[in-house]
A and B are shown apart, each in its own frame.
Chain A
Amino acid sequence: MDIDGRLNEAGHLWREGQGPALRTPKLVTSPEKAPPQRWRRGLIPLAASLAVAGVLIGAVSLHGTASSSHQVPTGSVSTSSSVNFPPPKPTASTSPRPSSTVTAPRPSNTVALPPTAAATSPTRVLNVRPVDASGHLAVGYSVQQVASGGCSPGSEVATSAYRCDGTTNHVVYDPCWAAEDHLPHPSCAWAHRGRRLRHGSRYPGS
């Protein structure tokens, strides 16, 4: 066989051995998809700004409501709620000790505005976190007086909080939060200044 014949046969065998042709690739035109992505990316800073503004407005309104509608004695300690609070456990007894009165405000994780405000605007939900995840008082909160009392699980006004009472003055403290840096003392407050209870043992849930 001459070279031309060998090349023809080799070419034929090569084509036979190649199998089926490749499939036509799917062509996707991307320019039409780009604008929506850019539009979505532009929403991120806007959403972040709105979130920051919402937090600031909530903090301002919370502080104003608390200082005007609740009688918190001067020198008391305020703490507020923590979402990641330890679950409540059975109450421990406390040593009776007089303490100054604390009007338990109606604070908690969820706060309803006064009727006048509520009538004109929808209820606003405010989150209060006086104790951080490690159990320390959050920045801006302080303890100014210490009272004696006992606590039981289940606050009337806040989830993951306690309801306590002063053993001598029969004052109800609600809500109260566990402050790990002052065991076994829970902190009860609504405003940024409040009271800390002397507790006989570790408070429920700790």
Chain B
Amino acid sequence: MRTLWIIVKKDFLRLRMLLVLWWCVLILRALMPALDLMYTDHYFPQSYPLHANDVSNIGWVGLYSFGLRSVYFLLQGYVLMSLDIILLIFIVISIVQADSPIKPFAHWRTLPISSRKMLGAKTASFAVFCGLVPALINVGAKISYGFPPDKWLTGLAWFEWKIAAIVLPAAAMAALFRRPLLTFLVAVTFYSLGNLLYDLPEIWYVKMNDFGDYYQVSQFVSRFIVWPIVLLATSASVMVCMYRFRRRVLGLAVLAGGIGIAQCLQITWSVDFFLGLVVPPIPLPAPKSAPAFTLQYLPADNQIIADKFPHGEIDIPFNLTATDFRTNQPGEAWFPIAANLSLEWPDGKGESLNTFGDFNYYDGFNQMGFNLRDREAYPVNYANVLNRLGLGKMQADWRADNMNNVYTLSEVHPEVIHTELKAWWRDPGSSYTVPQDQVTKNGPGKLTGNIVFEVGQFKRIADIPAVAGAHFARAQDYYGIEKVDLVQNGVQQTPWLRDKNLSQKNQTPVVANVWLLAQSVDVAAAPPTLVQLAKSKSWNDVDTWTDANEIGSFAWNRINAKDESARFFVLWNPKKQEVRIARTLGLYNEDRYGQNEGAGLSYSTLVTLLFFQIFPPDDATKVSPADVQAWLADARLVELRYTPEHLYTLPVSLDNVVVRDVTATPTSNAPAP
């Protein structure tokens, strides 16, 4: 221990300026979010002109629009982040090369210290300088932000992991080379090459028939856990080899071997090596008895899309109706969240439909491998639910045809709230891949498997008064009506409505579009005053959400499933006891492009652009702009939260699934078998 301490002390003495500089950068990066929150007053100033027809731009443009914010982004995102990484790499290189294993005249080689001890000393230096001190900075920042003790460790492991991912490979490079500049260049090349190798199979897989297998849950384990472990273990092995045997050839061989193993893993993601090790996808208790459902196969809109890739897509729409599904709690709802289906063709060949749906919605679910894209559940009498939640009645039923794009659990729509016996959902857009040879068979297949869905609770957790009125200045620190558009012929200007041909149903020639910005600030990074405010709004676990999102893995999400919750908003007019549902147009989880990661704070600003449309169900001409203004003047913003509670598995069995090649046959509704 004494020897270790001598070396650590010596390393500190030598690198003290560089280390202090790096730690200052870390501290600054940790402080930046708070400075940002304290000294920049608006993310979305009132004067910012919205582009109503291009809603996807609103958030981002707003974020980048103003000088102070730009300075913040520049500093946090580029200057500090770059400094952080470059300093760290140079520190690591300096620590190793101060007592290099391959310099034949290195002074330490003549000192009475063994290679093993020197390696231990270097490890201790890394642990203290690059592990312990940054961890203290991290925790210190969290404490100063008023984070509760049980949250201090949140994100710390991830933070340390990211540091290790820089430290260990850089240390391995430094052990293999003698000159710092050369080592730095080689390290940069190594990282770049690593990235290329990491991405190559992905590029390759796109051209493969079964690229759909790419996002298996078990592959997630390979890709996001085993691959980095191999990388770090390889780097550590190179260090051990170099200090133990002092043979560069051996070190390079170990490095090449490690890269080879990692690359093999990367190439073989589709092999479920780790299937048995995968965390159960949803650790929710199953109810004692599953409810009965009926499953109805519907005529397909579009069965096969053959394209330049040797695969086809099939859409199988079907209705799922719960015939005996009772939820007794107000606000209880259920969601289909996963499907494990397979399709067997008449010739006995089968297709696993584990790429059911789309992957591009939400990080946490991207890894599932079988998201259901367009899911929704319709309560028979959702007004009853809203009543039970004390919100009065839900106006109109126009959504029954048009709310097909419920993106993610975090953007849950309240129309799925129900307490009635019957409920059904329709999945018109689910798709899976089919090999080209099956496209031409046209034989009826059999669909079997199961659909997993969960039941959870919606709770009314916050009412934010005075969001409306006075043509709609920001009312709170966190919420504000950005703009209200009263759009004549709103259908034409609202793409998703236009797409659904609402106008053909003689609805909504006048639409009130209410653009509301909801900002939440991660309590991890918010100054204490904001934390207090956040707590008063029951936002204590916002950080859990963002941490989960930052980690970006389904597995981690589900481990913390109990903490996972989804927020959504309704506009509520207490006088009229009416509710308008928010259609979430943008969910901008502005994590500064990861710029805070170096500081270890999972600081995120969740900017949600909510879009309410206010119009009458039956006769749009009855609504005038004044009506809308009057309605909004009394409105309150109500935040609801959904928490999953139970898990159900429903067996599925469908015969006579027919596929056709749309390149040969015009797309049309196929008859139901």
Partners in one complex: no
B residues sitting closer than 8 Å to A (CB atoms) are none
Residues of A within 8 A of B (CB): none
